[in-house]
Structure 1
Amino acid sequence: MTRSPARSPRLLLISTMFLVVAGGILLTVPQTPSTPAISAPPRATAPPAHPRATALSSRAAQAGAPAQATASTASTQSASTSALPPHGEGVAGDAAIQKSLEDAWPADLAADDEHTLLAAGRGLLRADATGVGRAEWPALFGDPEQAIAPAFSTARFRIQAAIARRDGSPNQAVVHLVWAATDRGGTYTDRRITDWHFTRTSTKGASPWTPQPRT
């Protein structure tokens, strides 16, 4: 029986060095997790605020819109103002402006009060803009012969839309008017906006609503 020759010390040294190098390589290799990491879902971003479509809706809100208006009312306002006719549409576009006002600012007055206020507001606007009928309100316009000359012509004056609503309390109201006219320089502009404010009075034999001076 033959004896196997003894292993060379040199061979053992080479084997040991090989194992050391292989172990070092394994330690430097990044370990991939067996299951994917769970990340939080991305946070939803709010949509950008929609700019106000026209100055009409802005003025309607400033004029005393009801405090109980909700988000649904705001969306209704946005939808209605986006349907406004373009400037220069003429009489054909007045109905759309009227509907936009009524949608944006729901009625909150008794029918009789609303009718009285609308008639007074229309008359006051015409008197203020064109001078016609100022004698009916001497407390507001003074002596017609000494009053300031009207700024607008009666030729193309037109009230495009009007609503009457409460103005903060049952005894306060505002008539919101949208109108068109030609000024003394000959420039025609439509969708002008004017507000006339009223206070309820108890004077017998007269209108229960008294117009307030414009500031």
Structure 2
Amino acid sequence: MTRSPARSPRLLLIATMFLVVAGGILLTVPQTPSAPTISAPPLATAPPAHPAATAPSSRATPAGAPAQATASAASTQSASASALPPHGEGVAGDAAIQKSLEDAWPADLAADDEHTLLAAGRGLLRADATGVDRAKWPALFGDPDQVIAPAFSTARFRIQAAIARRDGSPNQAVVHLVWAATDRGGTYTDRRITDWHFTRTSTKGASTWTPQPRT
């Protein structure tokens, strides 16, 4: 009789214990988790390029003479205004007003024509404002005894400056006058402005400047 069968349960027990120990060891060993798969984010779509906003200067007049001329004209007007004397300056300020007129409108008439027109323009203004010598221009003022009384007195009437210039053609002219006076209400005002227009007429080879009625 052999002992092999008697040792079989022992071997089975040893094998079982070995498997239990091996399983416990495996359970105590930390397992490294597999790295998760990372999906790359979708590429961002670049925003469409927008045209740059137009700067205000880009809509201005192109660089050159027009823009410069506008700036120059504005500067000249500002300088002329600042050169005028203050109201009430009196006779001392008349020369500055005369110079301002001459700078603003350069002479464009023959000297004889300019002299004739200035004398006529000054006389017409005085007659119209104060009534003095209206009889010289009956076509303009009518019968001196029938016209309306003058609006200004002669006491403080003064022509401060005057120029004569062409008015669109060689046969048309205008006399531009700046003046001061006291009205019938006693109010004194200087730097009043009046224009008298003239037309050149020819009679028997001689030319004269004829004043036009004021409208």
Give the TM-score, by structure 1 length: 0.66
Q: Which entry has the higher C-alpha Rg, 1 or 2?
A: 2
Deviation at 1:26, TM superposition (A): 38
Distance 1:151 1:24, change over 3 A: farther
Q: How many positions carry a matched residue from both structures?
A: 215
Superposed CA RMSD in Å reads 16.6
Question: 1:49, 1:33 → 2: CA distance?
Answer: 46
- Percent of residue pairs bearing the same amino acid type: 93
Distance 1:3 1:12, change over 3 A: closer
Distance 1:179 1:21, change over 3 A: farther
Deviation at 1:76, TM superposition (A): 2.8
Contact 1:84–1:100 (CA under 8 A) maintained in structure 2: yes
Contact 1:57–1:104 (CA under 8 A) maintained in structure 2: no
Question: 2:25, 2:109 → 1: CA distance?
Answer: 86
Question: 1:80, 1:97 → 2: CA distance?
Answer: 9
Deviation at 1:148, TM superposition (A): 1.1
Contact 1:165–1:173 (CA under 8 A) maintained in structure 2: yes
Question: 1:168, 1:93 → 2: CA distance?
Answer: 30
SS in 1 for 2:202: coil
Contact 1:172–1:200 (CA under 8 A) maintained in structure 2: yes
Q: Which aligned runs of 4 or more in structure 1 are off by greater than 6 angstroms?
A: 1-71
Distance 1:152 1:72, change over 3 A: same
Structure number having the greater helix percentage? 2
Question: 1:17, 1:174 → 2: CA distance?
Answer: 135
Higher relative contact order (CA 8 A, sep 6+): 1
Question: 2:21, 2:204 → 1: CA distance?
Answer: 111
Structure 1 segments unaligned to the other structure (5+ residues): none
Give the TM-score, by structure 2 length: 0.66
Deviation at 1:59, TM superposition (A): 32
Structure 2 segments unaligned to the other structure (5+ residues): none
Deviation at 1:50, TM superposition (A): 37
Distance 1:143 1:168, change over 3 A: same
Question: 1:25, 1:79 → 2: CA distance?
Answer: 105
